[in-house]
Amino acid sequence: MIVSGGPDLGKGSVAQRAERLQNEHENIYSALLCEPRGQPAMVGAFLVPPASADSTTGAIFFNAAGNLGMCGHATIGLIATLFFMGKIKPGRHLVETPVGIVDTMLHADGNTVALNNVESYRHLKAVTIDVPDIGPVTGDVAWGGNWFFLTKDVSVPLEPSKIPLLLEMAYKIKRTLQIANVTGENGALIDHIELYGPAHSSEAYERNFVLCPDGAFDRSPCGTGSSAKLACLVADGQDWRGQEWVFESIIGSRFSGAVDRLSGRGIIPVITGQAFVHAQTELIFNSHDPYAGGIAGAQQNQIMQVGSKK
């Protein structure tokens, strides 16, 4: 989380400033999140003054490939970090993101955060694509703050030892969606792939594996992906009143999900998880350093380039 020293993005909505970050400071993504300062799984958040007077802060989320509309686990981390810094107290805090206002609740422990995400909905149901070397794969296209293709047609076990194979499979699905021109609403790029299957824990509803736009996999159960999943469950007629679904990631981390209410196109989901501050640091950029802009691996670059094509 960048709390000071970032580029001046001017005034306007958080969405407008996020666009400026993407258009005018594109090199900052790899400089912050790739080696030698970061690593592929990291997500960043720029804190910016909110345009809304009711919001605690504005936040622009990003990974090594560029901006993210929303990020559930980063929002949880953001609120826990503000508490750690003494900026906020337990209670309700609004976060202005490029895709809307996210309503959060910080619990008394300072680590547990519940967030009412942006409106989430299913855009397409049961889309089948023929993926090279895999065969037919059927899934839903849904919005949870980012665009997702969610499928249970997974021929590889959702286990940590199979992560390289899962990455390859998810990447092929993403590429096939682009070739087949399967998109989100208004031609939006589907930049997240969620593979899901049976949970390993008896306390969880489902396990997932999420490919992110920069080619990394999500270490969390993915807040926006869980929101998209909840929207699909409700669209399929699942009774949501009083229900709580626990989702686990490929590494076993967990989020709980519920539905706050129905909305125009879908639902307002509630995602609850924990975050723990593990470091405070000052990043140094030396103009003579040939790798000041970051080092991106060949595979990561390839996936980033595919993800950036319309």
Report the catalytic residues: 71, 222
Element (H, E) at 26: none
Angle (deg, nearest 10), helices 163-179 and 298-308: 30
Angle (deg, nearest 10), helices 223-235 and 72-84: 130
Residue 166 · residue 250 · CB < 8 Å: yes
Residue 230 · residue 145 · CB < 8 Å: no
End-to-end CA distance of the chain: 29
Q: Is 20 helix (H, G, I), strand (E, B) or coil?
A: helix
Distance CA 14, CA 8 (A): 13
What would the DSSP string read from start to end of 83-134?
Answer: HHTTS--SEEEEEEETTEEEEEEE-TTSSEEEEE-S-BEEEEEEEEEEETTT
Phi-psi region of 181 (alpha: psi -120 to 50; beta: other; left: phi over 0): left
Q: Which two tokens stand for residue 206?
A: 């489902």
